Structure 1
């Protein structure tokens, strides 16, 4: 359902299982819309009421916050068997998710515009952090993947954090049966399900240690994934409440840069580098392209001497293909109306205040989101996530004549609450992917977590160096 992942040709699409009795397209009923809207709102409400808690770990801390509660509660609902969610319900959730996550980015963009003048001194750090995102994964994660016996799938798992655009590129270039595509798909799957939780915990740990400037960590969160950025921003904003607006603005600006140039840097720089370094690491660790161990003479170690896990491969076909919502004008009216209403309610519940300006502000975010979707339709090379960040930043930039009016409506909005619904909906969709997750071995999970960590930390280290040089 993600419009950013539909660029791959249909002939190369992965084989997936369809829900029994599900049709390819369907028109949701009022009950289906209502149940998903109400359920996601209730989940977020419970998450907000659960509050924020810190678990000290020496100088660091694990931060448990509404973003974490929302995705966990949503995941429990998504995988439970008492009243399992149907494919149609997940399809409705996906439509709401797409609108809600882009509206969250719109809210972040309104923090970027007013702060543009402040960022001129750290402009090089914003650009250089992209080097950390791209090459941190290749340098740190690739050798581990090869050493653990992932074979050529290690290339796909470590050349980037593998969001939708990378998935489509790998599908087109290597094909669905290739080990490189399996590696990309594995990291994409784990990132989609657990990425926000993992990055939020990692950001909380690093932020609590006091080693990094919070601005450097914020720049490191420009991973190209809205949900991962949301999780990390939430954690850092709790640890550094006085710098929360700046953290949000820097993360959003960094994410905009990543979305603009990250894919091209990954496709034309880090992927070729990964292909070359893979040969070196394979020789060093004596592994063939299937990840099998080789003896000193270059022969494959007999199967009976290999661990069973070394022969396990990701079953791409285990992913359920949900039906798709037939998009009509009424579909978008409902989705945008629901996202705006959820944003108003959750922002009021989270900030414990509401005013007419807040309501108007969320409506403005909805309009910016709608314009971003419209532009993405006519210029599909640029996804809606990029359009909305650019539009919101431009709309609130000091040199725009109407910027102060928009800022007056949006400055009291908390982007983390406005976009919280997307995190709950993300968790609810876990039921679609749970069968494929069961086929992942522990090696793939370790390498995926290392890939996410290397991208985040590598970018933060370079940003730290530039800020304090």
Structure 2
């Protein structure tokens, strides 16, 4: 797949790797758009399949195939482009929040309660299942949150990489990184088709703290409720913004202490020790040290001013082309709009480095929301540039890139037991449903 890179030194990133990552992600996205949207009824529910799902699945197939394997250097380039692509998607979502702020001014209690659902839904629902399955102390790491990057970094510092808690955090992070967008899109579509929750309550539940998971869920709900697609996207983005701002600190200071206390209770109730064995089956010998789970090491892309500019251009052009294919429309305003969104992304990345305690995703959503708000003179100008840009389409290459990097994670995924996979999916499900249920209780008072 990458013959042009064959003369490069091992691990060296060349122009061929940039071309491969760009062409593959754009081609996968184009195929996903051409396949289109399909909905299958299963009794009273439905499964919604749409370009986001196809992009992840096709990208994953390309990423793990052995005929012409995707190299580590290409995956490294894909990782650089992925970060920018997801932030571009969030920037566009931010511009959809601004004009609708007035509609959401009465949703303050719902926004707060959905965060409570994200924090405690996993601990209350997923933790006892994890302990009962015999995961041991890894249950704490696997169920105190949906374990995104900030939680992974905290677990390394707080527990160490050889601890059971870290293995739980890492496993849920890995599964979410690889399959999260796909799983949440299917979960949101299936739940939305049942009619139990209002689409706005489900949109609140999508504020999981993960841009790719939110993108998948918004796509599914927008397919089921096209007349409310704009509100769903804006409310999910607003909910995700709140989660990104306060979710980590709430998880560290509230959810984690609660999870550790309840772990002791459930371990006694189910008769499990810290290795997950039943007390009567304990062995006298010391337990063997668990192997540290880790993804394969890809070469690190050295970012020069030229390569950084190139990465932004690639993401912008790919998003523009996929949007044109999906909407059958391409105007000068679209290119200008993409350029403005990329400027917002670049400023947000710089602010994230300047203030590392605040993720770039918070800045990009905040700046996009502020600049598009009706009370600022930039609001009408910015929204006037973006009506032809579909948020689901410009974010599609980023989801394809997630699939292309799957080859890096295959070895670690093979090490995971079915139990931790089940607990991870239950963690995502309980967080989403608990937040949606609490949001629904406020929306229908």
Change (3 A) 1:362 1:171: same
Aligned counterpart, 1:150: 135
Which residue is 1:4 aligned to?
none
1: CA distance between counterparts of 2:370 and 2:228?
22
| Total equivalences in the alignment | 436
Secondary structure of the corresponding residue to residue 316 of structure 1: coil
Corresponding residue number in structure 2 for 1:244 = 229
> What is the correspondence of 1:266-415 to structure 2 with a 5 Å cutoff?
266-295=251-280, 300=282, 315-415=291-391
Q: Secondary structure at 2:68's aligned position in 1?
A: coil
Residue 444 of structure 1 aligns with which residue? 420
Shift of 1:411: 2.4
Are the equivalent residues in 2 in contact too, given 1:314–1:439 (CA < 8 A)? no
Deviation (angstroms), 1:85:
1.1
Question: Structure 1 residues 175, 336: closer, same or farther in 2, change over 3 A?
Answer: same
Q: Which sections of structure 1, spanning at least 5 residues, go unmatched?
A: 1-20, 304-310
Give 1:316 deviation, angstroms: 3.5
Following TM superposition, the consecutive aligned residue runs of length 4 or more in structure 1 with deviations greater than 3 angstroms are 311-318
Structure-1 separation of matches of 2:140 and 2:353: 32
Gaps of 5+ in 2: 1-8
Q: Is the 8 A contact 2:70 2:407 kept in 1?
A: yes
| Alignment partner of 1:56 out of 24, 31, 41 | 41
How far apart are residue 108 of structure 1 and its match? Answer: 0.5
Task: Quote the offset at 1:331 in angstroms.
Answer: 1.4
Q: After superposition, what is the alpha-carbon deviation per residue over 1:123-165, rounded to whole angstroms, capped at 9, x for unaligned?
A: 2101210000000000000000000000000000000000000
1:455 paired residue number: 431
Q: Find the aligned partners of 2:320 and 2:159 in 1 and give their Cα distance.
A: 44
SS in 2 for 1:343: helix
Q: Quote the offset at 1:229 in angstroms.
A: 0.4
State the SS of the aligned residue for 1:166: helix
1:30 CA displacement: 2.2
Structure 2 length-normalised TM: 0.96
2: CA distance between counterparts of 1:277 and 1:343?
46
Query: Who is 2:218 aligned against?
Result: 233
The aligned residue for residue 467 of structure 1 is 443
Matches within 5 A, 1:27-42: 28-42=13-27
Partner SS, residue 61 of structure 1? strand
Distance 1:415 1:353 in 2: 14
C-alpha RMSD over aligned residues: 1.6
**Could you tell me how far 1:339 is from its partner in structure 2?**
0.7
Change over 3 Å in CA distance of 1:166–1:318 after alignment to 2: closer
Question: Contact 2:162–2:290 (CA<8 Å) still a contact in 1?
Answer: no
Give the Cα–Cα distance (whole angstroms) in 2 for the partners of residues 374 and 410 of structure 1: 24
Aligned residue in 2 for 1:419: 395
Q: Offset at 1:313? A: 9.3
In structure 2, C-alpha distance between the alignment counterparts of 1:65 and 1:313, rounded to whole Å: 44
Q: Deviations over 1:396-439 (max 9, x none)?
A: 01111121000000122111101100000000100000011001
* Matched position secondary structure for 2:147: coil
Secondary structure in 1 aligned to 2:90? helix
Instruction: Give the direction of change, closer, same or farther, for the CA distance of 1:314–1:119 in structure 2 (3 Å limit).
Output: farther
Q: 1:69 aligns with which of 40, 45, 54?
A: 54
Give me the whole-angstrom Cα distance separating, in 1, the residues matched to 2:294 and 2:101. Answer: 46
Q: Deviations over 1:255-310 (max 9, x none)?
A: 00000000000000000000000000000000000000123xxx62799xxxxxxx
Structure 1 match to 2:245 = 260
Structure-2 change in CA distance of 1:422 and 1:312 (3 Å): farther
- CA displacement at 1:314 relative to structure 2: 7.3
